[in-house]
């Protein structure tokens, strides 16, 4: 299996909290904690972030509210095989929510 996939985390501007769908998806959000978008990609996370910001296969929240990548959260996990990245994307989102983060996943 080729290890060429990555999970990544984008810090979102706190004003994303004003989006009703984001708010509804994060009932246990702890105010003051980061809001983030969690994704997976076969590309370099930096390139994928640039694509989101440019509107290329972009998530609405990542495009509009994305501030920066948070490699301190995901860098040690990458790279990995596709199936592992699919699993890790979900698990990372769950772990961040448990820590009080506001999380959006596609």
Residue 87: the pLDDT is: 97
Q: Which residues contact 104 (CB under 8 A, 6 or more apart)?
A: 12, 16, 22, 25, 35, 36, 37, 38, 59, 61, 62
- Cis peptide bond upstream of 49, omega within 30: no
Q: Tens digit of pLDDT for each residue in 47-89?
A: 999 999 999 999 999 999 999 999 999 999 999 999 999 999 9
pLDDT band at residue 106 using 50, 70 and 90 as cut-offs: confident
Residue 2: the pLDDT is: 79
Mean pLDDT calculated for residue range 10-34: 97
């Amino acid at each position: 299996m080729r290890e060429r996939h990555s999970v990544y985390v984008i810090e979102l501007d706190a004003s994303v909290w004003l989006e009703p769908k984001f708010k509804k998806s994060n009932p246990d959000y702890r105010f003051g904690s980061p809001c983030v978008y969690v994704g997976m990609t076969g590309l370099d996370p930096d390139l994928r972030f640039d694509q989101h910001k440019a509107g290329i296969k972009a998530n609405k929240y990542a495009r509009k509210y994305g501030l920066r990548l948070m490699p301190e959260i995901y860098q040690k996990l990458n790279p990995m095989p596709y199936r592992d990245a699919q699993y890790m994307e979900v698990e990372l989102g769950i772990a961040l929510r448990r820590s009080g983060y506001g999380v959006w996943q596609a």
